[in-house]
């Protein structure tokens, strides 16, 4: 693993880019804030905690999805991947560097949500620690699923449309912004194909908003491992 490369890439592409492209950061914050607003209005404040927790998950997972789409863009349009293949770094280095860069891009959004969460008094020490672990899990899981999906893309013109579809299907449909308990069991199990569902279920359990679904833990771990392996395999690092 080339930590120097991962570090410089994350610093330059993830952190320094924030001030050069603030519109992207604002758009990634705005999207869950709109949900927070709508959910608060329609539920008369009843589901505001779900919306805040869901906002965190949504920001991290949406950025993880866009890291996969950006990687496809860099492979197909900028030829960045070809440039790096001949340097000796491996696909895992590049994936991790890209994922961490997008995590860095998530930081301003997470800060906004942290302030909202503190103002609402929803954070306890144990639940917050558990939530940080879950956010890292959702980052890894969504990155893996995103790299898997975008590994199939062969034309630049499809990247952004598919990124939009994937982000809606993975971050809005699953119970990120609403209690997982209101979903019919069969539908919940279908949604659990996405690691975001498992993380949302566990986060709602950790904050005492819904019963703790312990069975989601092994599901989440297995999903992260399987999607990571498929994502690296499909990355076509050195093409045949």
Partner 1 sequence: MIEIKRLDKRYSDGNHALKGISFDIDKRLTTVIGRNGAGKTTLMRILSTQLLQSSGTVRIDGLDNITEAKEIRKRIVSIPQEASPIGYLTPMEHLKMYLCARGMSLGDSTIEASRALKELELWHARDTPSDMLSGGMKRKIFVAMALAANADTIFLDEPTTGLDPLSRIEVWSAIKMLRGNIVLTTHYMEEAAELSEDVIMVESGKVLARGTVGSLLKRFKGMARAETSSKNAKSKYVIGNTRITYIKLSEAEKYAKEGYVIKPITLDDLFIMQGVDIES
Contact residues for partner 1, defined by CB under 8 A: 2, 4-5, 7-9, 12-13, 16-17, 20-21, 74, 77-80, 82-89, 93, 238-240
Minimum separation from the CB atom of position 29 to partner 1 (A): 18
DSSP 43: T
Query: Which H or E run contains 140?
Result: helix 125-151
Taking alpha carbons only, the member of 80, 125, 102, 85 closest to residue 238 is: 85
CA 165 to chain centre: 14
Distance CA 44, CA 129 (A): 29
Minimum separation from the CB atom of position 77 to partner 1 (A): 7
Q: Which CB atom, from 22 or from 208, has the smaller least distance to partner 1?
A: 22
Distance CA 165, CA 66 (A): 11
Minimum separation from the CB atom of position 108 to partner 1 (A): 15
Q: What's the chain's length in residues?
A: 240
Q: Which CB atom, from 12 or from 189, has the smaller least distance to partner 1?
A: 12
Minimum separation from the CB atom of position 88 to partner 1 (A): 4
Q: Which CB atom, from 82 or from 214, has the smaller least distance to partner 1?
A: 82
Q: Which CB atom, from 12 or from 215, has the smaller least distance to partner 1?
A: 12
Q: In the block, which residue shows the tokens 């809005």?
A: 172
């Amino acid at each position: 693993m080339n930590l120097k490369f991962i570090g410089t890439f994350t610093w330059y592409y993830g952190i320094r880019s924030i001030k050069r492209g603030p519109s992207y950061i604002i758009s990634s914050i705005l999207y869950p804030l709109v949900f927070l607003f709508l959910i608060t209005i329609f539920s008369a404040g009843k589901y505001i905690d779900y919306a805040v927790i869901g906002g965190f998950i949504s920001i991290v997972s949406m950025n993880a999805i866009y890291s996969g789409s950006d990687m496809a863009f860099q492979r197909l349009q900028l030829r960045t991947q070809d440039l790096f293949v001949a340097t000796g770094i491996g696909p895992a280095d590049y994936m991790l560097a890209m994922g961490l860069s997008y995590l860095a891009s998530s930081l301003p959004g997470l800060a906004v949500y942290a302030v909202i969460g503190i103002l609402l008094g929803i954070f306890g020490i144990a639940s917050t620690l558990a939530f940080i672990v879950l956010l890292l899990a959702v980052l890894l899981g969504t990155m893996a699923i995103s790299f898997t999906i975008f590994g199939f893309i062969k034309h630049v013109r499809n990247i952004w449309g598919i990124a939009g579809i994937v982000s809606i299907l993975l971050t809005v449909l699953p119970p990120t912004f609403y209690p997982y308990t209101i979903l019919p069991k069969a539908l919940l199990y279908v949604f659990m194909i996405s690691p975001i569902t498992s993380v949302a279920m566990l986060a709602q359990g950790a904050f005492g908003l819904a019963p703790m679904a312990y069975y989601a833990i092994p599901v989440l771990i297995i999903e992260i491992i399987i999607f990571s392996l498929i994502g690296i395999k499909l990355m076509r690092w050195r093409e045949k």
